[in-house]
Amino acid sequence: MSGTSELCLGDLGERGIQEHVLRPRYEGTEGFGDDSALLGAVNAPSELVATTDSCPTPLVNLLREPDLYHAGWLLATINLSDLAAAGAEPLGLVAGYTLPKTTTVTSFERLLDGVDDCCAAHGTKVVGGDIRDGAVPQLTATAIGRCVPGSRLRRSGARAGDRLLLAGSPGYLWAAALLETGQATLPEPDRSEVWHRACRPMAQLKAGRVLAATGLARAAMDVSDGLFATVRSLCEANGLGAAITEEFTLDERPASVARQCGLTPFALAQTWGDWGLVVAVRAEDVEVATKALRGEGVAAQEIGTLTSDGELTRGTAPWRGIAQERFSASSWHGGELSTLITDVLGAA
Residues making up the annotated binding site for Mg(2+) are 35, 51-53, 82, 130, 222, 225
Among 9, 118, 166, 176, binds a second copy (CB under 8 A): 9
- Amino acid making up residue 190: D
Q: Which stretch binds a second copy (CB under 8 A): 141-149, 239-247, 267-275, 311-319?
A: 141-149
The one among 2, 41, 187, 262 contacting a second copy by CB under 8 A: 41
By CB under 8 A, residue 135 contacts a second copy: yes
Cβ-based neighbours of 217, under 8 Å, separated by 6 or more: 87, 153, 211, 279, 280, 281, 289
Closest C-alpha to 147, from 98, 82, 69, 194: 82
For residue 10, state whether it binds a second copy (rule: CB under 8 A).
yes
Residues 153-192 that bind a second copy (CB under 8 A): 154-156
Q: Which stretch binds a second copy (CB under 8 A): 90-98, 177-185, 192-200, 238-246?
A: 90-98
What is the rounded distance in angstroms from the CA atom of residue 340 to the CA atom of residue 56?
15
For residue 92, state whether it binds a second copy (rule: CB under 8 A). Answer: yes
Is residue 211 left, alpha or beta, with left meaning phi > 0 and alpha meaning psi from -120 to 50? alpha
Nearer to a second copy, 166 or 178 (CB): 166
Note whether 13 binds a second copy by CB under 8 A: yes
**Spatial separation of the C-alpha atoms in residues 265 and 175, rounded to whole Å:** 11
Shortest CA distance to 221 belongs to which of 78, 82, 55? 82
Nearer to a second copy, 81 or 256 (CB): 81
**Bond from prior residue into 189 cis (ω within 30 degrees of 0):** yes
Type of residue at 40: G
Instruction: Single out the residue of 5, 23, 64, 130 in contact with a second copy (rule: CB under 8 A).
Output: 130
Q: Looking only at residues 217 through 276 of this chain, which bind a second copy when binding is defined by CB under 8 A?
A: 221-222, 237
